[in-house]
Amino acid sequence: MTTRIRQGTPADLPRALELVKELAEYEKAPLEVENTVEEMLKDGFGAHPVFYLLVAELDGTIEGIAIWYYKYSTWKGKCIFLEDIVVTEKARGKGIGSSLFEAVMLKAKEEKVRRMEWQVLDWNEPAIRFYKKYNANLDSEWLNGKLVFDQLQHFDFNN
């Protein structure tokens, strides 16, 4: 079995979205995926990309992806945020997740970013163990905040 990590292409997006949906299923939120291949094409390969895609091929079949983007810290400067690493259930335990994670780490090193960040659900013990192998700091101090699409669209800016 040969694993190959490479930059994703527009042709990889249908498979990438399948893996995103597989992750949503695993995270008990299958109905939360609203993204489409068309949106991913525009957002990742358009004039102003907002994310980057790595794919992991096992014997020529995409069995894993990593999606990341740049963010900016006013205290530290340029950072990389790893949005997701997904490896198909059947391909787990073959080093694909490590290969993807280390490819993003290498990008962070080459770019001399100040931090590489990601989130992990507090109940996802396999992922927590995975990140601890890298001696990662898993921060319990910060809370995540967000406004979702409907909140943003329906906010009354006049009040």
Say which CATH topology domain 3-154 has: Aminopeptidase (3.40.630)
Of the residues 26, 69, 131, 134, which is catalytic?
131
Active site residue 131: yes
Alpha carbon distance 34, 124 (integer Å): 23
Alpha carbon distance 108, 70 (integer Å): 10
Alpha carbon distance 148, 19 (integer Å): 22
What are the start-end ranges of the E strands in 74-158? 77-87, 115-117
Check pLDDT > 90 for residue 141: no
Averaged over 86-91, what is the pLDDT? 95
pTM (predicted TM-score): 0.92
Q: Return mean pLDDT, the chain.
A: 95
For 35-52, how does the pLDDT look when each residue is reduced to its tens digit (9 = 90+)? 999 999 999 999 999 999
How would you classify residue 95: left for phi > 0, otherwise alpha for psi between -120 and 50, otherwise beta?
left
